[in-house]
Structure 1
Amino acid sequence: MRKTAAKLLTVAALATSLATVVSGTAVADPAAGVTPNSQDIVGVGSDTTQAVLNQLAADYNATLTDPNAPHLYSWDAIPTGTITTKTGATAITRPNGSGAGITALNANTSATVDFARSSRAPQPTDPTTDDFVALAKDAVAWAAPSTGNAPANLTTQNLKDIYTCAVTTWNQIDPSLSTDTIKPFLPQTGSGTRSFFLGAIGGGTAVTPGTCVNSSVQENQGSDSQLADVDALVPYSAAHYIGQVYFGKGSGADVQGPLTIRSINGVAPVDATNKVITADYATTTYARVVYNVFRDAEWTATDTHGTTLRAIFGRGGWICSNGASDLTSFGFLPLAAFNCGSVYHS
């Protein structure tokens, strides 16, 4: 089943309640000393979905009774360096972000990488042979230090002005605000959250960041000391924030730090009582679907590999049938059954 990615947001039925979940720190990478076998299903890429994919992998693997059956593994976006993703694979530079993950997918075979985690939709520059398989719904907002100078709300135009450097001080937005210089941050080039945010504040046309913008932070990591500055602000995944703040899914550098997530156009992104993305925010242009990306030839294959991919990630597959509690405990909204596992491409 193929559709254009734009249709998904307009037809997806959103989950509005959370399953009962148990808090805990997120797992990361395959366990120490474990290298996936050559037949295992291995992913790389997006920071936004790395923690939930690690959890889904652990839960899926726990259901397997045959030790030789293909297991599921996911390598985190950081730390920097090289990784040997599978037994017999050539070491590759660890892909950091959706773009890097998709590049690695297309530069290698299933001997090294089976899928890329992506927090962005297909783009015209993506190969048409890349299949974006829908996983869950997220939304992007912005965050700033709780004791900083940023207001509780910014409009889309405010954010566009800030990130193009047309507005450089807070009091240009509101005379009652500080006269300090605003310090806008973005994740690195190749980040799916970065590309989605720049498109959203541009009304569908990606904004080119101005020279006042610092692109040196890792996405969704409020622990970066640069973001403690009273004049800092940065785009942030609402789902990732919910997982960090309310479900204890962050650990190490992967925490919100001093940041609190803020409203756009007067709409709050997070319902703190129910620990979920708000229904109103989930219908804005800041809502997005997150994906796992596969090579079409493998996704559609009738061999064991293709059958396994679809049995895990496809419509009616293990994740779509059994992954809702994991997704909600990491802040994501599960997609309706007819959308989860559907395939999209550029």
Structure 2
Amino acid sequence: MRKTAAKLLAVAAIATSVATVAAGAAVADPAVTPAAADIVSVGSDTTQAVSTQFSADYNAYLTSIGDTTSPRYYSWDATGSATITPKSGASAITRPNGSGAGITELNTAGSKVDVARSSRAPKATDPASDIFVAFAKDAVTWSAKNGGHAPASLTAAQLKGIYDCSITNWTQISATLPNATIKPWLPQANSGTRSFFLTAIGNPTVGSCVQDGPEENEGVDSRLAGDDTVFPYSVAAYLSQTVGGHGTPTSNPGSLTLRNVGTLVPVNTTTNTINAPFAASAFGRVVYNVVRNAEWTATDAHGAALRNIFGPSGWICTNGTNDIKSYGFLPLSAAACGTTTHS
């Protein structure tokens, strides 16, 4: 990976109960059809809500300073209608769901999408022509049903065993746990959270006992309701849904609560933020907006708009801190926000 710019320990489950979930007005597709010159993003479910909030606040900022000519920014959700028309003059496309699908669409010939939201870092298989622009810090842990059979903590090695199916019963973890079959789940295939989580637990060869398909960060999926569920969850998404008030009837943890990885605790319950040691571990991740390098470096209005929104001196890095915190993420340092990375 090549850089092109500078860059608690109590063992207890996070037992926050989600009795009610406030509706999050910032989770929505654009209310208008973006103009052909506007900047539009697709992809990651994990960062869709904060990106929609960025859109509302950035566009309001341009209006407040009397700027009627600069391109506006809009963000399309990962789920919803089967197809979307990204902007005026564009053809309808299958809605990209997940980091991988967003990056694929960004690199489809003739694509009118300008940005792919990504909750994973670049991979060697990503096009070298893509630039990953950092904007915040997240972390991923595992979740289980509140009051179910899962323990408060599993080590990375135990999680790897669960997902390669060498550990299939709770009694293999501890004789004090119920004699019950573990039910490991993974988000849908294009999920950046899925990809990141598997890497963090040691790159297991996913076994036949693992089921997949639920949307990431949606614990209300009925398939996840059992006492023996194990399911990856973005810590930022969980905090956004339970503390930030941005949950919706479909995007909330349901009965799932976050669990520890070994002695690492995902949430600082005093500040209701991602716990710093957890964020600094292998389970902490940077989240990105991915753009095409040729457009990022262009001297035209389109390139300027991309940099003015996502760059080190752009709106997100200089004005987006409150949005980043409200949606559960940790802000990056001034030196790290807007830095770019290639595959």
- TM normalised by structure 2 equals 0.92
CA deviation map 1:273-323 (0-9, x unaligned): 211001111111100000000000000001110011001100011100000
The answer (yes or no) to whether the contact 2:70–2:305 under 8 Å persists in 1 is no
Q: Secondary structure at the match of 1:174?
A: coil
Structure 2 unmatched ranges of 5 or more: 8-21
Go from structure 1 to structure 2 and tell me whether the alpha carbon gap of 1:79 and 1:208 turns closer, same or farther (over 3 Å shift).
Answer: farther
Q: Return the alpha-carbon distance in structure 1 between the equivalents of residues 307 and 25 of structure 2.
A: 25
Asked if 1:46 corresponds to 2:44, the answer is yes
Q: Return the alpha-carbon distance in structure 1 between the equivalents of residues 262 and 81 of structure 2.
A: 36
Cross-structure match for 1:157 = 157
The answer (yes or no) to whether the contact 1:145–1:230 under 8 Å persists in 2 is yes
Q: CA deviation at 1:108?
A: 4.3
CA deviation map 1:235-269 (0-9, x unaligned): 00000101011111111200111010000011110
Cross-structure match for 2:252 = 255
Cross-structure match for 2:224 = 227
Cross-structure match for 1:119 = 119
Q: Secondary structure at the match of 1:62?
A: helix
Q: CA deviation at 1:24?
A: 6.2
**Alignment RMSD (CA, Å):** 1.5
Q: How many residues align structurally?
A: 325
Q: Return the alpha-carbon distance in structure 1 between the equivalents of residues 68 and 30 of structure 2.
A: 16
Asked if 1:312 corresponds to 2:309, the answer is yes
User: Quick one: which of 281, 285, 306 aligns to 1:288?
Assistant: 285
Q: Return the alpha-carbon distance in structure 2 between the equivalents of residues 172 and 26 of structure 1.
A: 44
Q: Return the alpha-carbon distance in structure 1 between the equivalents of residues 47 and 54 of structure 2.
A: 10
Asked if 1:197 corresponds to 2:197, the answer is yes
User: Quick one: which of 316, 330, 343 aligns to 2:340?
Assistant: 343
Aligned-residue identity in percent: 57
Q: Secondary structure at the match of 1:27?
A: coil
CA deviation map 1:65-122 (0-9, x unaligned): 3344311000010025010010110000000000000000000446x20000000000
Cross-structure match for 2:19 = none
Cross-structure match for 1:20 = none
Go from structure 1 to structure 2 and tell me whether the alpha carbon gap of 1:4 and 1:175 turns closer, same or farther (over 3 Å shift).
Answer: farther
Cross-structure match for 1:178 = 178
1:57-206 alignment runs, 5 A limit: 57-65=55-63, 66-109=67-110, 112-202=112-202, 206=203
Q: Return the alpha-carbon distance in structure 2 between the equivalents of residues 300 and 31 of structure 1.
A: 27
Q: Return the alpha-carbon distance in structure 2 between the equivalents of residues 325 and 207 of structure 1.
A: 37
Cross-structure match for 1:19 = none
Q: Return the alpha-carbon distance in structure 1 between the equivalents of residues 227 and 320 of structure 2.
A: 38
One-letter amino acid matched to 1:259: L
Go from structure 1 to structure 2 and tell me whether the alpha carbon gap of 1:29 and 1:109 turns closer, same or farther (over 3 Å shift).
Answer: farther
CA deviation map 1:206-262 (0-9, x unaligned): 322100001111000011111111010100000010101111111120011101000
Q: Secondary structure at the match of 1:123?
A: coil
One-letter amino acid matched to 1:310: R
Point out the more displaced range, 73-82 or 155-164.
Answer: 73-82
One-letter amino acid matched to 2:301: T
Cross-structure match for 1:29 = 28
Q: Secondary structure at the match of 1:151?
A: coil
- Runs of 4+ more than 3 Å apart: 29-32
The answer (yes or no) to whether the contact 1:120–1:195 under 8 Å persists in 2 is yes
The answer (yes or no) to whether the contact 1:43–1:116 under 8 Å persists in 2 is yes
- TM normalised by structure 1 equals 0.91
Asked if 1:56 corresponds to 2:54, the answer is yes
The answer (yes or no) to whether the contact 2:102–2:117 under 8 Å persists in 1 is yes
Cross-structure match for 1:13 = none
